[in-house]
């Protein structure tokens, strides 16, 4: 499983006598396959070991068995196997004393063109948001404004929690949830803080295609993954504080689909940095 913007190092045990290895790959989708206008063909390739002297056939006579493109269980099983080494040679240090907790919704939205009368259906711009704030990109970089003490370019009031709460993963939601505000808001953290962030996917506007989230210049431990609305009492019980994978990004898929049955769920991810 390779997500957008991700690379994966794979170790191959080359112990077969012929020295030719076929690989096959296919897409994993979090949206209905019938709605996706792209070639759904599988990809295949061959890998030859250095000592191979015989020529490699152009095509393999083997047949490959794949999981369905939207098989959530297969994706979850694969990701659950990824762990940090967490040994004496490769120790890890997962922060347990959390100083700041953030719960951030990730949504598709629209920006209203008319500030006095706004309808989700007419004359608006498609946007994305975090905690219902769509980023307003200015000509002056935020870090430049910060280090040069330039005022008026950003505000420090990005919320630790969504501005409004509702059933984030329900199929039906108030149309006001579609409208987002625009701003250049940041969260200022003290040096050496231990931060826990939960990214919550929503069903607003059907949810977006799975999208990676990352923190510029930082790596973090992915302590847990789940579906539905995050429960701050029961979900932390399933966190992995022993050997969680360390990553530079985490992906938040849209509502999941299973064969013959629509699962009205969204994903939430918890990361610790």
pLDDT tens digits for range 178-188 = 888 899 999 99
**Model confidence over 12-65: pLDDT tens digits?**
777 777 667 778 888 777 765 555 666 677 788 877 776 655 555 545 556 667
Question: Residue 267 above 50 pLDDT?
Answer: no
Residue 33 DSSP code: G
**Model confidence over 208-261: pLDDT tens digits?**
667 778 888 888 999 888 888 888 899 899 899 999 998 888 877 664 322 222
Contact (CB, 8 A) for 142 and 186 = yes
In a domain, 108, yes or no: yes
**Model confidence over 87-140: pLDDT tens digits?**
999 999 999 899 999 999 988 888 876 655 666 566 678 888 999 999 998 889
* Total number of domains constituting the chain: 1
Q: By residue range, what is the domain housing residue 116?
A: 100-263
Would you call 49 helix, strand, or coil by DSSP?
coil
In a domain, 133, yes or no: yes
In a domain, 82, yes or no: no
In a domain, 173, yes or no: yes
Reading the block at residue 213, the tokens are 């989230």
In a domain, 112, yes or no: yes
Residue 90 DSSP code: S
In a domain, 115, yes or no: yes
In a domain, 35, yes or no: no
Distance CA 114, CA 66 (A): 49
- Choose the weakest-confidence range: 2-6, 155-159, 162-166: 2-6
List the CATH number of the domain containing 204.
Answer: 2.60.40.420
Pick left, alpha or beta for residue 121 (phi over 0 → left; psi -120 to 50 → alpha; otherwise beta).
alpha
In this predicted model, which residue has the larger pLDDT, 29 or 84?
A: 84
Residue with tokens 């030719």, as numbered in its chain: 20
Q: Tell me, what's the pLDDT at 12?
A: 79
In this predicted model, which residue has the larger pLDDT, 7 or 207?
A: 7
pLDDT tier at 265 (50, 70, 90 boundaries)?
Answer: very low
In 3D space, the residue among 211, 184, 186 whose CA is nearest the CA of residue 199 turns out to be 211
Contact (CB, 8 A) for 112 and 179 = yes
Q: Tell me, what's the pLDDT at 88?
A: 94
In a domain, 56, yes or no: no
- Choose the weakest-confidence range: 24-28, 36-40, 160-164, 269-273: 269-273
Give the list of residues 6+ apart from residue 44 with CB closer than 8 angstroms, or none: 22, 23, 24, 25, 60, 64
Distance CA 192, CA 215 (A): 15
Reading the block at residue 184, the tokens are 């250049």
């Amino acid at each position: 499983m390779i997500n957008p913007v991700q690379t994966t190092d794979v170790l191959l045990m080359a112990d077969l006598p012929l020295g030719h290895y076929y690989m096959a790959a296919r897409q994993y989708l979090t949206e209905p396959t019938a709605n996706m206008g792209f070639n759904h063909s599988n990809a295949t390739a061959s890998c030859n070991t250095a000592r191979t002297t015989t020529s490699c056939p152009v095509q393999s006579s083997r047949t490959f068995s794949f999981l369905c493109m939207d098989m959530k269980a297969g994706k979850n099983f694969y990701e659950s196997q990824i762990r940090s080494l967490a040994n004496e040679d490769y120790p890890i240090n997962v922060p347990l004393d959390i100083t700041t907790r953030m719960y951030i919704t990730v949504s598709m939205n629209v920006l209203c063109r008319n500030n006095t009368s706004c309808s989700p259906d007419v004359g608006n711009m498609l946007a994305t948001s975090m905690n219902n704030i769509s980023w307003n990109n200015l000509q002056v970089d935020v870090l430049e404004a910060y280090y040069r003490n330039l005022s008026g370019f950003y505000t420090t009031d990005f919320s630790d929690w969504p501005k409004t709460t509702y059933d984030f993963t329900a199929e039906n939601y108030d149309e006001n949830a579609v409208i987002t505000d625009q701003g250049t808001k940041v969260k200022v953290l003290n040096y050496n803080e231990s931060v826990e962030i939960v990214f919550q996917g929503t069903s607003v506007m059907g949810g977006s295609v799975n999208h990676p989230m990352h923190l510029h210049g930082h790596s973090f431990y992915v302590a847990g993954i789940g579906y539905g609305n995050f429960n701050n009492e029961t979900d932390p019980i399933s966190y992995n504080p022993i050997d969680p994978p360390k990553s530079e990004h985490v992906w938040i898929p849209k509502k999941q689909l299973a064969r013959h049955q629509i699962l009205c769920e969204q994903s939430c991810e918890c990361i610790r940095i």
